[in-house]
Amino acid sequence: MKLVEQVSRTTAEQIAGQSAKPAGAAYPPRQKRVIAVVASLTASLVIFRLELLKRLVAAGHDVIAFAPENDLRVEQELARIGVRFVRIHMARTGLNPLDDIRTFWSLRQHFRRLKPDIVLPYTMKPIIYAGIAARALGIKESCFLVTGLGHVFSDAAGHSFKARAIRHLCVRLYRLALRGARVVFVYNDADADDIRRYRMLGADLLPTKIPGSGVDLDHFTFSIPPRSGPTFLMIARLLRDKGVVEYVEAARIVRRSFPNAKFQLLGHFDSNPTAISREEIDGWVREGVLDYLGTTADVRPYLTACNVFVLPSYYREGIPRSILEALATGRAVITTDLPGCRDTVQPGVNGMVVKARDIVALADAMACYAGSPELAETMGRQSREVAETKFDVHMINRMLFAGMNLAD
């Protein structure tokens, strides 16, 4: 039996035990269910949840996906695998209470009409408003996937009166949403600790930790890094909290000693308050310190073409999917010593971990790879092994099924 299979079965059994409700609260695991999966970004249903959705359908369940944007490519892919798509109103960012009330009401109306047996939301707003809507309608099986508690719980959100007030409001909303949950999955210890510290769950239920969303190891195949270079690649939403500015500043330092080094950035612009502007990106490109690659539906060619993957994030991450894809491709990783990010790297084995916002430390790590090209290849092989033993999407989906008491 493969190590992955051993790990997955053992962990799945443990999760089933952690998430078990008192006698009589669970339903028969082989019964067909109507399952509502709620997202804040339509594309994420394919990018992050495709294998889970396919597995739910293959197990005989009726799966309905809810998300805010019209995205024909995603809708076609969901239809192909047998998942119904329902568009809902949701402002992914922003604090307009009228928008959020509309989101809650939209979900409540759809749930009333479609009568899901299980509600499975992920990310902050879906968890809060789908959770409250499900409770209002008496839907008993709510399973929550906390991919990250949200920016308001990060150090970057600050400690001003406004920040504390918003955090307090979010805690109260989380408590309302999570009350009576069957299972609450988390990606890292920091989120689990905050859920306990802010008493978001009742005393009868603990958060269930899983290693992220996982990565499809057949889709993201191993490749040896190019011999030329070095080429560093960062893939992220263009937010300051993701460490984009630090990446650029560190690149300036490294280029003084390694003028042939390339620094690439791939990602989309965002409406988040900490977003990087198009003008800033254009300025760095004109300066020659950065190659901006735009956006893509397939990151694999860019991962294959780089030597080292870099994510100097100080955003409140769950476990960054971009790093998991880099691990599966066989790339050494440089990231920060923060929850979620550090869970993907064994320092000195498959990458390096640096202090968040420490530009000099980040530059030193990149210079280390620039000066020793063979190091990226050696550590990249270890990255693939980490992906296989810890982050295989099929292993993680078995954990989710066990936690939700669904037959696989």
Q: Yes or no: is domain 3-214+393-403 CATH 3.40.50.2000?
A: yes
What is residue 97's predicted lDDT score, i.e. its pLDDT? 85
What is residue 29's predicted lDDT score, i.e. its pLDDT? 57
Q: Which residue has the higher pLDDT, 12 or 244?
A: 244
On the question of a common fold for 3-214+393-403 and 231-390, the answer reads yes
Q: What is the mean pLDDT of residues 237-242?
A: 93
Question: What is the SS3 assignment for the chain?
Answer: CCHHHHHHHHHHHHHHHHHCCCCCCCCCCCCCCEEEEECCCCCHHHHCCHHHHHHHHHCCCEEEEEECCCCHHHHHHHHHHCCEEEECCCCCCCCCHHHHHHHHHHHHHHHHHHCCCEEEEECHHHHHHHHHHHHHCCCCEEEEEECCCCHHHCHHHCCCHHHHHHHHHHHHHHHHHHCCCCEEEECCHHHHHHHHHCCCCCCCCCCEECCCCCECCCCCCCCCCCCCCCEEEEECCCEHHHCHHHHHHHHHHHHHHCCCCEEEEECCCCCCCCECCHHHHHHHHHHCCCEECCCCCCCHHHHHHCCEEEECCCCCCCCCHHHHHHHHHCCEEEEECCCCCHHHCCECCCEEEECCCCHHHHHHHHHHHHHCHHHHHHHHHHHHHHHHHHCEHHHHHHHHHHHCCCCC
The full set of domain ranges for the chain reads 3-214+393-403, 231-390
- From 3.40.50.2300, 3.40.50.2000, 3.30.470.20, 3.30.70.20, which CATH number describes the 231-390 domain? 3.40.50.2000
What are the pLDDT digits (tens) for 74-102? 999 999 999 999 999 998 776 678 899 99
Q: What is the mean pLDDT of residues 137-155?
A: 87
Q: What is the mean pLDDT of residues 388-397?
A: 97
What is residue 6's predicted lDDT score, i.e. its pLDDT? 39
What is residue 158's predicted lDDT score, i.e. its pLDDT? 65
What is residue 21's predicted lDDT score, i.e. its pLDDT? 46
Q: What is the mean pLDDT of residues 388-403?
A: 97
What are the pLDDT digits (tens) for 187-209? 999 999 999 999 999 888 999 99
Instruction: State yes or no: pLDDT of 25 exceeds 90.
Output: no
Q: How confident is the model at residue 332 (pLDDT cuts 50, 70, 90)?
A: very high
What is residue 120's predicted lDDT score, i.e. its pLDDT? 98
Instruction: State yes or no: pLDDT of 216 exceeds 90.
Output: yes
What are the pLDDT digits (tens) for 241-255? 999 999 999 999 999
Instruction: State yes or no: pLDDT of 300 exceeds 60.
Output: yes
